[in-house]
Structure 1
Amino acid sequence: MLNDNRIRIITGHYGSGKTEFSVNYAVKLAEQGKKVAIADLDVVNPYFRTREKIDFLTEKGIKVLGSSIKGLAADVPAVSPEILAPIQDKSYQLILDVGGDPIGAKALGRYHNYFIEDEYDMFFVLNANRPETQTPEKAIQYLKEIETASRARVTGLINNTHLLKSTTVDEVLKGQKLVKEVSERLNIPIKYVAAIESVARELPKDIEGEILPIKMYMREEWMM
């Protein structure tokens, strides 16, 4: 995580777990003593949004930016202009949680002039259990569409193949095969392999990509 560029853009298909990854990533940076901001740029999907955990993240010392309309009951496709501050302020480690389809990714495109090569990373989260991205061909097509819509280049892949709390090592390794093929075809490195903590401990130590144990912050205890 210390080797990533200051601005980290997290994107991927709905259900890939990109928001869960984003929140875990932000928390881990904060635990390292970093000055962290996380921005919710998902203006399409009203569920499992970063801003739902604003109290929790604020307690961790993380600045949360999202809709310009205050209050969870008001869900409008608007992004706060405050996002420009941590984009330009290099004292921040910034995570941008982007909408999970090409339409949602357009919200990122308005900021493309601020993204200088070698100053940002855009990570594409893949979950091999999502029908729309469960083959290399489908995943690559989706990735390319997001790049076009966001006007930014994917610099790393994340294997986040899961079945929520029923995830097994075999599931993660199944996803790794998909991500590895996408990586080889596009010459994009595998940056992270994300898995719930009990599974992450059992993954092969030589797996390609950094193993990132995650907690399920975005799902309440009563949820599967």
Structure 2
Amino acid sequence: MVLNDKRLRFIVGHYASGKTEFSINYAIKLVEMGKKVALVDLDVVNLYFRSREKKEFLEKLGIKVIASSVNASAVDIPAISAEVFTPMQDTSYEAVIDVGGDPDGARALGRYKDYIVEGDYDMFYVLNANRPETQTAEKAVEYLRKIEDTARARVTGLINNTHMLKSTTVEDVLKGQEVALEVSKMTNIPIKYISVIEKIAKDLPDNLEGEVFPITLYMREDWMI
């Protein structure tokens, strides 16, 4: 249950793991529950498929979107708005922080180390076992530890987000679940969520570790596969 998570939720993972889709869906879930929500786009590495691209849509839903201080969606300037501090300091917000992919992207968290106090935040590691760099537990753990080192914060939960976009099958999700279970055993970090497109969520077994979290692909336009 999202309300059982810490107020500050940092979403990290390998590039193209699906962090942004999960972050957006998570923020929407919170606002649907009547919460005051801020979605922070802390990605200063990737120019595409960033949560800031859906700012107008999200703000119509009542979500405060905080992103680059440069008002352009694809300008290669690693600028972060000072507004990022707002949801970290203002405890009236439920905050979802979409962090850049890979260890390089996670480095941006280092500047907020005074606000990342162990026990006061959750950092969720999004795992897509269909990505070559994280298709085994050993590789996934190696990435996880590198992200922790550069972010100067510890992962508190795993998200199985193994997918093939709109072509995702139950078999994809279950394959990823096996990898996530191995990662969990190796790190002693629990599986928090199984992120899966809505059309197949109902077909998953009901005994999986972690909460099934149906998502909509907001970052994929209708014509995209």
**Closer, same or farther: CA 73–163 of 1 in aligned 2, 3 Å:** closer
Shift of 1:117: 1.9
Aligned residue for 1:177, secondary structure, equals: helix
1:68 paired residue number: 69
Aligned residues: 224
**Closer, same or farther: CA 73–102 of 1 in aligned 2, 3 Å:** closer
Shift of 1:72: 2.1
> 2:106 and 2:165 mapped to 1: Cα distance?
25
1:34 paired residue number: 35
> 2:113 and 2:178 mapped to 1: Cα distance?
32
1:172 paired residue number: 173
**Closer, same or farther: CA 119–219 of 1 in aligned 2, 3 Å:** same
> 1:12 and 1:94 mapped to 2: Cα distance?
18
The C-alpha deviation readout for 1:83-129, integer Å capped at 9, x for no partner, is 10110110000011001111111101110111122210000000000
Report the residue type matching 2:27 in the other structure: A
**Could you tell me whether the CA contact under 8 Å between 2:129 and 2:179 is conserved in 1?**
yes
After TM superposition, the score normalised by the length of structure 1 is: 0.98
Shift of 1:41: 0.6
> 2:59 and 2:169 mapped to 1: Cα distance?
32
1:80-99 correspondence to structure 2 within 5 Å: 80-99=81-100
Report the residue type matching 2:148 in the other structure: E
1:220 paired residue number: 221
1:126-145 correspondence to structure 2 within 5 Å: 126-145=127-146
1:89-128 correspondence to structure 2 within 5 Å: 89-128=90-129
1:9 paired residue number: 10
The C-alpha deviation readout for 1:163-214, integer Å capped at 9, x for no partner, is 1111111110000000000001100000000100011111111110000000
Report the residue type matching 1:191 in the other structure: K
Q: Percent identity?
A: 64
> 1:93 and 1:147 mapped to 2: Cα distance?
22
> 1:11 and 1:36 mapped to 2: Cα distance?
19
CA RMSD across the alignment: 0.8
**Could you tell me whether the CA contact under 8 Å between 2:48 and 2:74 is conserved in 1?**
no
Aligned residue for 1:8, secondary structure, equals: strand
Shift of 1:218: 0.5
Aligned residue for 1:199, secondary structure, equals: helix
Aligned residue for 2:3, secondary structure, equals: coil
The C-alpha deviation readout for 1:106-161, integer Å capped at 9, x for no partner, is 10111011112221000000000000011111101100000000001000000000
Runs of 4+ in 1 over 6 A off after TM superposition: none
Report the residue type matching 2:135 in the other structure: Q
Q: Which runs of 5+ in 2 are unaligned?
A: none
> 1:213 and 1:72 mapped to 2: Cα distance?
27
Q: Which runs of 5+ in 1 are unaligned?
A: none
Report the residue type matching 1:137 in the other structure: E
2:80 paired residue number: 79
After TM superposition, the score normalised by the length of structure 2 is: 0.98
